[in-house]
Structure 1
Amino acid sequence: MPESADKIRLDKWLWQARFFKTRSLAAGVVRGGRVRVNGTRAVKPAQQVGPGDVMTFPQARQIRVVRLVCAGVRRGPASEAQTLYEDLTEIKDDVPPAPRYEGKGRPTKKDRRIIDLDRSRTLE
């Protein structure tokens, strides 16, 4: 069965586009059923994808939605990898940042005592 040159394995493309550090990590996400291609769940890493396909998958703590622009030839630098896809992910500005101590670095022992006293007062 002849394959067209513009089609590529799903796991290989995810790796070449630098969404995953290794190809086996990309294959594991696909095998786990966490990748959708054009709205259909992909369960085989060898599924062929081509230009125009829309993929939805988790990456870190966000859900990525990308449209494949072209199949890559190699895993190149990040600037080259960004030309392989068009990012359709919705940007969420309302997500609060991780809570941090207002000062610089870790709180001191004295600061922790004050924090603990404030917590015990709110419980009463």
Structure 2
Amino acid sequence: MTSVRMDKWLWAARFFKTRALASKACELGRVDWKKGEIAWQPAKPSREAHVGEMLRVKNDSGEFAIEVLGLSDVRGPAAVAQGLYRETDESKAARAAVLEAKKAVPVYESTWESGRPTKRDRRVMSRLRGR
């Protein structure tokens, strides 16, 4: 096998749960490819993925910059899927920085025991907001 459809490869490498989600991500411009000196270009779902290409994939887990090491059109175990690609060091560092930034942002939780504010709580909130 010398090439595989991009949406099939992304699904087999476990970047997306379904092939339809992988195809949709390609259509929305969340997957870019680069080979050699060619600049980054958006990937269509039907584009063939080849060994040695660089891909940029944006999904819920973050933005990955990866090199294709192997091809598969069958979704297998996670250990096998991780052998299909190698993430660059810059990509790992960027994702770690984003994760640290998210951890630094304080999370505010509601202090109401019932799960929703009472009439009195809503009045206090309105007063604080200047209404």
Q: Residue 76 of structure 1: CA displacement?
A: 0.4
**Counterpart position of 2:47:** 47
How far off its partner does 1:34 sit? Answer: 2.2
Give deviations 1:65-120, integer Å, cap 9, x for gaps: 2111111252101111111111222233333356154xxxx7536xx79x986996
Q: Does 1:19 align with 2:12?
A: no
> Residue in 2 aligned with 1:71?
71
Compute the displacement of 1:61 (Å): 5.5
What is the letter of the counterpart of residue 65 of structure 1?
A
SS of residue in 2 equivalent to 1:74: coil
Shift in CA distance, 119/36, structure 1 to aligned 2, threshold 3 Å: same
* Aligned-CA RMSD value: 3.0
Q: 1: CA distance between counterparts of 2:21 and 2:129? A: 45
* Contact 1:18/1:81 (<8 A) preserved: yes
1:7 aligns with 2:3: yes
Gaps of 5+ in 1: none
Q: Output the TM-score relative to the length of structure 1.
A: 0.72
Report if the CA contact (8 A) 2:30-2:59 is conserved: no
Look up the SS of the partner of 2:24 in the other structure.
Answer: helix
1:53: how far off? 0.9
Structure 2 portions without partners, runs of 5+: 35-39
Structure 2 residue aligned with 1:31:
27
Query: Contact 2:4/2:73 (CA < 8 Å) preserved in 1?
Result: no
Distance in 1 of aligned mates of 2:73 and 2:22: 17
CA contact (8 A) 1:6 1:70 kept: no
Question: Number of matched residues?
Answer: 116
SS at match of 1:37: strand
Amino acid in the other structure paired with 2:9: W
